[in-house]
């Protein structure tokens, strides 16, 4: 099956599994330890059901959303995913261009192998995601670099104080920095298409990729430890550093990795512009609450902020459930990587197109002509409505974004 023949994200995943070396597929697809957080993200969507409204004029439908002064074509975006170049040639550029083509936001990972300046040239609306230590001498030059590149949205990931244990990656011989273990080499040899189109092409044209964007300086090669150890100092990161960044960063500031309502309120008090409700796709703390389960309370605790869901989205119905529970948009990581592995830039664009098509159809079937009209009235727990209930506790409509949090 070609990428453009895929009828769903699950189809793209199947193509990606056949084309990627097992170790790299395991990196993309897997989570940490027992992978219970990974499974929880998907299970959370099944705990909600729709309450469709019949006899509503849905002949014209609008799924566009506005975030930070930009009108996007759909309420979806691409989450940051590290070393995308392992899934497809110049993966960071392919992701950025696919997002621009689909008119949705794209977040470049700090663990990327293409200089952020090149990525911003490919997509001027690129957002940048940072892994930061509690070291001003590292943060300040990076902020200057990101600002000079033209990035206007900075996303600080806060749920990776140290690296998690990902046993499935270790079993497959995969690690970052990349080590040429026997299992990894064998996995490449049994995927000749990937070996030629991604691995050999990258080596021929660029040499061994480097971590380009962890700090203001170019990092080390992906087969060696990064220069200066970019992980040093993350464990001591606190809200004080977020406040310090807020004082110095003139663009929009988002915090990624929030699962507690109290933390959402604290972030709002500091003056951040938005939050990613995320358990890191089940790749960090195993047993953490599912992103969707944490969403309603966080949305209620942070009115006026952009609330973005990250984790477990595979269908247009998943996106609509997230919006009904308080999100302004839902972001995808693995589905975009599946598309990249299956068909490069066009594969990523096809993944976005599949979700957008599903959202369009599902809006009509739900009896809601525009995503702006989604709220708690369109959804209920799978167990059904309690007798006499008209609203579920903790579930409210997404707050509209005020001008205070928009880009002029």
Residues, the chain: 408
Range of the domain at 362: 3-366
Burial class, 54, CB count within 10 angstroms (exposed 0-12 / middle 13-18 / buried 19+): exposed
- The 10s digit of each residue's pLDDT in 249-292 is 999 999 999 999 999 999 999 999 999 999 999 999 999 999 99
Residue 372 lies in a domain: no
Give the CATH number, domain containing residue 277. 3.20.20.70
Give the residue ranges of the annotated binding site.
27, 80-82, 109, 129, 131, 157, 166, 256, 278, 280, 283, 310-314, 333-334
Burial class of residue 85, CB neighbours in 10 A (0-12, 13-18, 19+)? buried
Distance CA 376, CA 242 (A): 32
Among 29, 230, 280, 349, the one annotated catalytic: 280
From residue 164, alpha-carbon distances to 24, 157, 258, 286 in Å are 17, 14, 17, 9
Output the pLDDT for position 229: 52
Q: What is the pTM of this model?
A: 0.92
Assess whether pLDDT exceeds 50 at residue 406.
Answer: no
Query: What does the pLDDT read at residue 398?
Result: 54
How far apart CA 74 and CA 96 sit, in angstroms, is 16
Q: Could you tell me what percent of the chain has a pLDDT over 70?
A: 92
Residue 255 is assigned to a structural domain of this protein: yes
230 catalytically annotated: no
Give the chain's domain count.
1
Task: Look at the block and give the residue holding tokens 């975006």.
Answer: 77
Measured CA to CA, the distance from residue 43 to residue 318 in angstroms comes to: 11
Rounded to a whole number of angstroms, the CA Rg of the chain reads 20
- Please write the tens of the pLDDT for every residue from 140-173: 999 999 999 999 999 999 999 888 888 888 888 8
> By CB neighbour count within 10 A (0-12 exposed, 13-18 middle, 19+ buried), where does 17 fall?
middle
pLDDT at 257: 97
pLDDT in tens, 235-249: 889 999 999 999 999
Residue 383 lies in a domain: no
Annotated binding site for glyoxylate: 27, 131, 166, 280, 283
Task: Let me know if residue 384 belongs to a domain.
Answer: no
313-336: per-residue pLDDT in tens?
999 999 999 999 999 999 999 999
DSSP state of 374: -
116 in a structural domain? yes
pLDDT at 392 over 80: no
Q: In this structure, is residue 388 part of a structural domain?
A: no
With cut-offs at 50, 70 and 90, classify the pLDDT of residue 387. very low
pLDDT reported for residue 227: 53
**Which pLDDT tens digit goes with each residue over 193-243?**
999 999 999 999 999 999 999 999 999 888 875 555 555 688 889 999 999
d(CA 118, CA 210): 14
pLDDT (0 to 100) of residue 162: 84
Known binding-site residue numbers for FMN:
80-82, 109, 129, 157, 256, 278, 310-314, 333-334
């Amino acid at each position: 099956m070609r990428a453009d023949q895929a009828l769903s994200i699950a189809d793209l995943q199947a193509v990606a599994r056949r084309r990627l070396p097992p170790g790299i597929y395991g990196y993309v697809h897997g989570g940490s330890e027992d992978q219970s957080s990974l499974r929880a993200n998907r299970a959370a969507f099944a705990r909600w059901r729709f309450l469709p409204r019949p006899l509503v004029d849905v002949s014209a439908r609008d799924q566009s959303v506005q975030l930070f002064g930009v009108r996007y074509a759909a309420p979806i975006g691409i989450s940051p995913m590290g070393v995308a170049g392992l899934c497809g040639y110049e993966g960071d550029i392919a992701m950025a261009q696919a997002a621009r083509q689909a008119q949705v936001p794209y977040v470049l990972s700090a663990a990327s192998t293409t200089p952020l300046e090149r990525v911003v040239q490919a997509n001027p609306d690129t957002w940048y995601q940072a892994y930061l230590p509690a070291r001003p001498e590292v943060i300040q030059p990076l902020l200057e670099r990101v600002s000079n590149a033209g990035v206007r949205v900075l996303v600080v990931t806060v749920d990776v104080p140290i690296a998690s244990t990902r046993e499935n990656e270790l079993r497959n011989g995969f690690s970052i920095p990349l080590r040429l273990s026997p299992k990894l080499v064998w996995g490449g040899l049994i995927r000749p298409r990937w070996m030629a189109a991604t691995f050999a092409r990258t080596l021929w044209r660029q040499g061994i990729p480097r971590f380009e964007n962890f700090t203001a300086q170019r990092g080390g090669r992906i087969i060696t430890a990064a220069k200066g150890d970019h992980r040093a100092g993350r464990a001591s990161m606190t809200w004080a550093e977020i406040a310090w960044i807020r004082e110095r960063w003139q663009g929009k500031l988002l915090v990624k990795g929030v699962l507690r309502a109290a933390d959402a309120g604290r972030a709002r008090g500091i003056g951040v512009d938005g939050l990613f409700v995320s358990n890191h796709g089940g790749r960090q703390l195993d047993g953490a609450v599912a992103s969707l389960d944490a969403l309603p309370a966080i949305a209620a605790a942070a009115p006026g902020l952009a609330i973005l869901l990250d984790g477990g989205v595979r269908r247009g119905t998943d996106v609509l459930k997230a919006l009904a529970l308080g999100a302004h948009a839902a972001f995808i990581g693995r589905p975009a990587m599946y598309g990249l592995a299956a068909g490069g830039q066009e594969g990523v664009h096809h993944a976005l197109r599949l979700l957008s098509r599903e959202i369009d159809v599902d809006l009509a079937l739900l009896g809601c002509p525009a995503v702006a009209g989604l709220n708690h009235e369109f959804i209920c727990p799978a167990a059904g409505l309690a007798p006499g209930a008209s609203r579920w506790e903790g579930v409210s409509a997404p707050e509209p974004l005020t001008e205070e949090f928009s880009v002029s």
